Amino acid sequence: MSKPYVVGIDIGGTNTVFGIVDARGQVLASNSIKTRKHSNINDYINELHHELKKLMEATSTVDKIHGIGIGAPNGNFFTGMIEDGVNLPWPTPIPLAKLVSDKFGIPVAVTNDANAAAIGEMTYGVARGLKDFIMITLGTGVGSGIVINGQLVYGHDGFAGELGHVISKRNNGRLCGCGRTGCLETYCSATGVARTAREFLEIRHEPSLLRNIPVDEITSKDVYDAAIAGDPIAKEIFEYTGEILGEALADFTVFSAPEAFVLFGGLAKAGDLILKPVRNAMEKNMLSIWKGKVKILLSELKEADAAILGASALGWEAKYLDATPAASAPILPA
Amino acid sequence: MSKPYVVGIDIGGTNTVFGIVDARGQVLASNSIKTRKHSNINDYINELHHELKKLMEATSTVDKIHGIGIGAPNGNFFTGMIEDGVNLPWPTPIPLAKLVSDKFGIPVAVTNDANAAAIGEMTYGVARGLKDFIMITLGTGVGSGIVINGQLVYGHDGFAGELGHVISKRNNGRLCGCGRTGCLETYCSATGVARTAREFLEIRHEPSLLRNIPVDEITSKDVYDAAIAGDPIAKEIFEYTGEILGEALADFTVFSAPEAFVLFGGLAKAGDLILKPVRNAMEKNMLSIWKGKVKILLSELKEADAAILGASALGWEAKYLDATPAASAPILPA
């Protein structure tokens, strides 16, 4: 293989992390820049290029990059664009694949961060060898990447797999950032756990370690720390969260009959505090043909590298797209 | 093509219908036998063979059958078996593909009826040219066949696409045949509509044409007739049913971002009575990126032929399976 390396770029709301990765998933070198430093997208891409060029030179991989994979909010695999409705400093839609491949002279593939995580897990992580699994990312929101028969599900428009937005509570559900109410992510994200904490502390009257923290400042990390310290309300918050997630996983199973769910992100690190209620609720709500058959796995990718690895895995699939900034209709890959 | 015909067999709880189909979806000849006539599966297969042989001779297609496709309850594409838990007169699991291909000397593929319907719709019906759609069959139960990127979704074990068993009502839901409560099919099947009618008539006090029918004998057809005659309660029953289905379709969309849902079965024939509330509820509950983008289509297959056509379309994919009746583990297709 004359081009045995890929570049992974993960564009987050605050930081953009990137690195050079080999076929075995070793990160040769990585770095980051501030996503919001440049109000002009071209300046941002120039800085990204400048920094990545340095990494390529340091690792002697300048002419050996097979492709660049980018995970970005609302990144669309089919169009190579960052679509509308994201919290980034540039006007959308952004023809990201086109801009980056023009600058680097290397093929680029784009998808959202949860899809990138699923591809990363399948290529380098705990989902190696699995052909049917669903990645659930439990971060500020709840994201997902669905793999069926070894292929990521993009749907007819490139946006499939928004499982954070299935409705968990049909009535009196929490208001979601998407404008609707009751979405899974209003309960099972880090933000959702903090909201649950505020609700529980308001309704309940037992003492709790969480009462030492100003109620508007409680984070899911605080709830975790309190639960580890034995706080009953904090433990109940994880049980409540896990139960809603487990119910949702049972519903997802009837769709694609996955062999496993792979959990990733801050909440997944709460270990048995969250896993036990998730497993219990999933089994309790599971259609009988799947009882005891669907695994819940934790991501095995090192957190520091996971975003880069996920995006980089997509680099192996990168092709040049014939997209232009002015294009209004979705452009299918060649 | 030296073998330009396929056989489609649809095994229902009462009747088994079968026919010979050409590549354009023309049914050359068809017939049916009683599913429950023989308590021994071999006698049943012998009768099926006898009757199909007559059809093949009459149409001069004896040596021109490419494959046999069978739609059967709990039919598993991977194993070729009818799995446990179905209302058929023979002990399960039934190694159906093996039994039929041994008898006929023709490759056989098996799946469940809703999956067969999806393949039929994609091959011969309204879903021709669609690569991402979800077939919803509204019959005694609610079945589904999910097509992603032009391929039917079987999942890791062959059972994917049981969308009638997502939970529509998490609390105080109706008891389902699956043993759980609140499943979509307890509301949106023909049976579900009849249950809704009984609930509405008990709770409400307005006059209704439906009160002329003994409450335990009301069918979805009665509700349809009353609605067509202008009965307000009957119309409300369809609105209630359609709303629950529309909410579910909005949730399904976040999974695979289909281009369309294709509705089939008795309830779908209620036309705008059910379609209007389904469309309204789907749009109202849709995540904004898909608002106005997902079509709801009605099956175009002639009802008399639909079951045969659906199963027959699977015949084009039929391969010999190396399955034995005693096999306990799933056997993957060669």
Q: Cα dist. B255→B147, B251, B287 in Å?
A: 12, 7, 11
| Contact between residue B48 and residue B35 where contact means Cβ atoms under 8 Å apart | no
Residue A325 pLDDT more than 70? Answer: no
Question: Which pLDDT does position A320 carry in this prediction?
Answer: 73
Q: How far is A197 from chain B (nearest CA, A)?
A: 22
Q: B283 versus A267: which is more confidently predicted?
A: B283
What does pLDDT average to over chain A? 92
Residue B7: both structure tokens together: 């056989």
| pLDDT at B1 (0 to 100) | 60
| pLDDT confidence of residue B304 | 74
Chain B hits for A157, CB-CB cut-off 8 Å, are 257, 290, 293
Strand pairing of A108-111 and A65-71? parallel
Contacts of B162 in chain A (CB under 8 A): 254, 287, 289
Contacts 24+ apart (CB under 8 A), A173-182: A177/A141, A178/B287, A178/B288, A179/B288, A180/B285, A180/B287
- Predicted confidence band at A200 (pLDDT cuts at 50, 70, 90)? very high
Helix (H) or strand (E) holding B46: helix B41-58
**Nearest residue of chain B to residue A181 (CA atoms):** B285
State residue A87's pLDDT score: 79
* Chain A residue with the nearest C-alpha to that of B289: A159
pLDDT digits 0-9 by tens, B276-312: 999 999 999 999 999 999 999 999 888 778 889 999 9
pLDDT at B303: 74
List all residues of chain B from 220 to 249 with a beta carbon under 8 Å from chain A: 247
CA B157 to chain A, closest CA, distance in angstroms equals 7
- Picking from A160, A194, A144, the residue whose alpha carbon sits closest to that of residue A174 is A194
Taking 3-state DSSP, the helix, strand and coil percentages for chain B, each rounded to the nearest 5, stand at 40, 20, 40
pLDDT tens, position by position, A222-250: 999 999 999 999 999 999 999 999 999 99
Q: Does A154 touch chain B (CB under 8 A)?
A: yes
End-to-end Cα spacing for chain A: 23
In percent, the amount of chain A with pLDDT more than 70 equals 96
Residues of chain A neighbouring B257 (CB-CB closer than 8 A): 154-161
- pLDDT tens, B198-253? 999 999 999 999 999 999 999 999 999 999 999 999 999 999 999 999 999 999 99
What pLDDT shows up at residue A317?
86
Contacts of A287 in chain B (CB under 8 A): 162, 165, 178, 180
Residue A184's φ and ψ, nearest 5 degrees, are -50, -40
Q: What is the spatial distance between Cα B151 and Cα A323, in angstroms, rounded to a whole number?
A: 27
- A203 pLDDT exceeds 60? yes
CB contact under 8 A, B155 and A293: no
Find the closest chain A residue to B157 by CA distance.
Answer: A257
Q: State how far the Cα of B275 lies from the Cα of B253, in Å rounded to an integer.
A: 17
What average pLDDT does chain B have?
92
Chain B residue numbers touching A256 (CB-CB < 8 A):
146, 153, 155, 160-161, 255
Q: Is the pLDDT of residue A82 over 90?
A: yes
The helix/strand/coil state of A86 is coil
For residue A150 the two structure tokens come to 């070894």
Check residues A130 and A320 and name the one with the higher pLDDT.
A130
Q: Rounded to a whole number, what is the distance in Å from the CA of B33 to chain A's nearest CA? A: 30
Phi, psi of A145 (to 5 degrees): -135, 125
Tens digits of residue pLDDT in A152-196: 999 999 999 999 999 999 999 999 999 999 999 999 999 999 999
Instruction: Tell me the mean pLDDT in the region B144-158.
Output: 96
Q: Choosing among A181, A256, A262, which should be mutated to test the B contact, i.e. which has the most B CBs within 10 A? A: A256
Q: At residue B317, does pLDDT exceed 90? A: no
Please report the pLDDT score of residue A319 as a whole number. 80
The size of the A-B interface in CB pairs under 8 A is: 126
Residue B168 with chain A: CB contacts under 8 Å: 170
Over residues B62-74, mean pLDDT = 95
pLDDT 10s digits, A311-321: 999 999 888 76
DSSP letter at B173 equals P
Restricting to A residues 261-320, those with a Cβ less than 8 Å away from any Cβ of B are 285, 287-290, 293
Provide mean pLDDT across the span A84-90. Answer: 83
Q: Place B322 in a pLDDT band, splitting at 50, 70 and 90.
A: low
Q: What is the pLDDT of residue A266?
A: 86
Nearest to A151 among B149, B169, B287 (CB): B149
Confidence of residue B327 (pLDDT cuts 50, 70, 90): very low
Average of pLDDT values for A113-136?
Answer: 94
What pLDDT sits at residue A49?
A: 97
Average the pLDDT over A301-314 and give the result.
Answer: 87
Asked if A156's CB is within 8 angstroms of B180's CB, the reply is no
Q: How far, in Å, are A74, A178, A308, B178 from residue A28 at the CA level?
A: 28, 38, 11, 52
Residues in B 33-62 with any Cβ partner in A closer than 8 A:
none
Given pLDDT bands bounded at 50, 70 and 90, which one contains residue B269?
confident
Could you tell me the pLDDT band of residue A76, with boundaries at 50, 70 and 90?
Answer: very high
